[in-house]
Structure 1
Amino acid sequence: MAFQSEQDAKAYWREHLRLMFILSAIWFAVSFGCGILLADWLNQFRLGGYKLGFWFAQQGSIYTFVILIFVYARQMGRLDKKYGVSED
């Protein structure tokens, strides 16, 4: 991976860390927030016959994590192309 300049390398890593922080915050909010903190409130709703708080604790955070993996891969591909360091 070769950047055109030191500034490009710093900007690339700044954007990469920003993306990682955002995706980690989303995962934290879904897994800890919806699965633990808001579980009692969410249990008044049902999804597929199960209480929503229970569903987030058991399945929702896992589904969210898998979706975030695909979002991360897509966004990193775009970021690599933007800075000219893609493997294509």
Structure 2
Amino acid sequence: MAENDARRRHWHANLRITALLLLIWFLVTFGVSYFARELSFSFFGWPFSFWMGAQGALLVYLLLIGFYAWYINRLDRRHGVQEEEP
């Protein structure tokens, strides 16, 4: 029974972090393009909306992937469901 409870807590934590990261992805992908005219300040010599579309979004995506991998590995160890290493 305790193992099922640990797996359930692990799954709920996984769903929460996935939902949060998907929200960040959505805001970066669609929010910046939707509000591009309002984001008209200069960032590294370029308009922020242009820079975010060309470079910033890719950096955010890489950070999201790296954070997710790190967090899930930590979560797996905490709940005792990590993969066996050869």
- Report the counterpart of residue 18 of structure 1 in structure 2: 16
Q: Does 1:86 align with 2:82?
A: yes
Identity %: 34
Q: 1:64 aligns with which of 38, 60, 64?
A: 60
TM-score (norm 2): 0.86
> 1:28, 1:54 → 2: CA distance?
17
Q: Which runs of 5+ in 1 are unaligned?
A: none
Give the drift of 1:62.
1.1
Q: Which runs of 5+ in 2 are unaligned?
A: none
Aligned residues: 83
Give the drift of 1:80.
0.5
Pairs within 5 Å for 1:32-71: 32-34=30-32, 36-43=33-40, 45-71=41-67
1:75 is paired with a residue of what secondary structure?
helix
TM-score (norm 1): 0.85
Q: Deviations over 1:28-75 (max 9, x none)?
A: 1112112x11111112x1122210011112221111000011110111
- Report the counterpart of residue 26 of structure 2 in structure 1: 28
